[in-house]
Amino acid sequence: MERSIGIGLLGAGTVGGTLVSRLIGDADAIAAKTGLTFDVRKVGVRDLAKERPFPVTDGLLTDRLREVIDDPGVELVVELMGGLDPAGDLVLAALEAGKPVVSANKELIAARGPELIAAAERSGVPFLFEAAVGGGIPIIRPLSETLAGETIDRVIGIVNGTTNFILTEMSENATSYEAALEAATELGYAESDPTADVSGADAAAKAAILASLAFGTWVGVEDVFCEGIEAVSAADVAFAAEFGYAVKLLAVCERTDAGVSTRVHPAMVPLEHPLASIRGATNAIFIEGPAIESLLFAGPGAGGGPTATAVLGDMIDAARETLAGAQVAPRIRFSPGELVDFTEVFTEWYMRLVVDDKPGVLAKIAGGFGDAGVSIKSVWQEGVNTEATLIVVTHLATERSQREALRSLHAIDEVIEVGSVIRVLGDGP
């Protein structure tokens, strides 16, 4: 027997529009597999006159968003608006009204996750957000449920398709950062304002969610160290390839005896690491733990189709739980834990310097590193006329020490330019 579930949708853009079309076009297949049909009762949007990719029946659309939640026929709320405001208060109101919520909004979950999860727990309803990280890649459920029995050590993700596309272009076609960004915009990978992608902010929200679920300690987006790809040059990408690395924007979530650290920054990834081969707009998440050793999840991290599939999975899950009639316990509990300040995290650095090609310069540079307690792993040098390019890769040292070494380099007269600094992905804790 089929059971119909009344849906209230907040937002009908790229993902929401695709979702409604799928609910109509794939209704029979979904019903055959799950015994469920989804009846979209209300859709909240900003612009009532905008064309939609689905039939708009009388009274379906509203710009009075509270109507979506308050409609007595709405049993499940799907939030696909994005942003913090008004999405946050609407999701909270739906949960407080005892309605299950499915959301794809990483920004909201990273900012108000504990409050919303607590509201869902009080009401005994599911609050699911599989699509918030990795688009179509199943990663939230594996982390919070399937791997709940594993003591995860580290999660490393390529969680922003735009920046991975840009870095792949720079690497494979020797394109400049600016030209690669232009290509990403032309192909629709980058927004007209790509700041959230290239600055790492989008990846930082996803990193906060991944770390929180992996370690069971809440990590807010404000706890994530974040550096974007704006300063990565074509020269760095070319040097990386020469030395056996690919440059990737990584979200790194790590647990050591000292606590949990979470960061987003460009990194030199050894070519033999599975993440080095993730090309274009593809996303991937690599999980390490003592029993599972390592797992790789990879696939389309965005786009209406893949993201709508993740949202649909959550809707089916939430509908099943609701129909079972039980009070739903949260899928993960968070306990207090130590968050390690990034300056105390151990990292390995790659640095590209331009120096006066004079005797004794190398000794001065080595002295700067030594005084900061950083030892050098390798140095490569190439001289052109009176200048030399120097590539220095350091051994593991705390960020504090690495930064101190960097400051001392700036104070050396013969150092003309510190071209760039990129962290190297090491073996982990």
88 lies in the binding site for ligand NAP (CB under 6 A): no
51/257 with CB nearer ligand NAP: 51
| 206 classed as catalytic | yes
**Calpha distance 386→402 (Å, rounded):** 28
Choice from 7, 80, 208, 209 touching ligand NAP (CB under 6 A): 80
Pair 5, 39: CB distance under 8 Å: yes
Chosen residue from 20, 81, 119, 409 binding ligand NAP by CB under 6 A: 81
- Residue pair 245/268 in contact by the 8 Å Cβ criterion: yes
Binding mask 316-355 for ligand NAP (x = CB under 6 A): ----------------------------------------
Q: Which is nearer to ligand NAP, 11 or 100 (CB)?
A: 11
Q: Is residue 13 a contact point for ligand NAP (CB under 6 A)?
A: yes
82 binds ligand NAP (CB under 6 A): yes
- Name which position in 8, 11, 228, 289 contacts ligand NAP (CB under 6 A): 11
131 binds ligand NAP (CB under 6 A): yes
76-79/3-10 β-pairing: parallel
Assess contact for 133 and 209: CB atoms under 8 A: yes
CB closer to ligand NAP, 80 vs 95: 80
Shortest spacing between CB 20 and ligand NAP, in angstroms: 10
* Residues 185 and 192 sit within 8 Å (Cβ to Cβ): yes
- Using rule CB under 6 A, residue 117 touches ligand NAP: no
Number of H helices, E strands in the chain: 14, 17
Helices in 146-233 by DSSP H: which ranges?
161-172, 177-186, 195-198, 201-215
15 binds ligand NAP (CB under 6 A): yes
CB of 356 to ligand NAP, least distance (A): 48
Sole binder of ligand NAP in the list 307, 309, 401, 408 (CB under 6 A): 307
Q: How far is the CB of 307 from ligand NAP (least distance, A)?
A: 4
Strand partners, 62: 44
For ligand NAP (CB under 6 A), the number of binding residues is 24
Using the rule CB under 6 A, which residue among 117, 303, 347, 423 binds ligand NAP? Answer: 303
378 token code pair: 């390798």
240-279 per-residue burial string, b: 16 or more CB within 10 A, e: under 16: beebebbbbbbbbbbbbeeebbbbbbbbbbeeebebbebe
DSSP states of 50-100: S--SS---TTTEES-THHHHH-TT--EEEE-S-SSTTHHHHHHHHHHTT--
Residues in 369-428 that interact with ligand NAP by CB under 6 A: none
Amino acid at 384: V
Active site residues: 206
Contact positions toward ligand NAP, by CB under 6 A?
Answer: 11-16, 44-47, 50, 65, 80-82, 86, 104-106, 131, 135, 302-303, 307
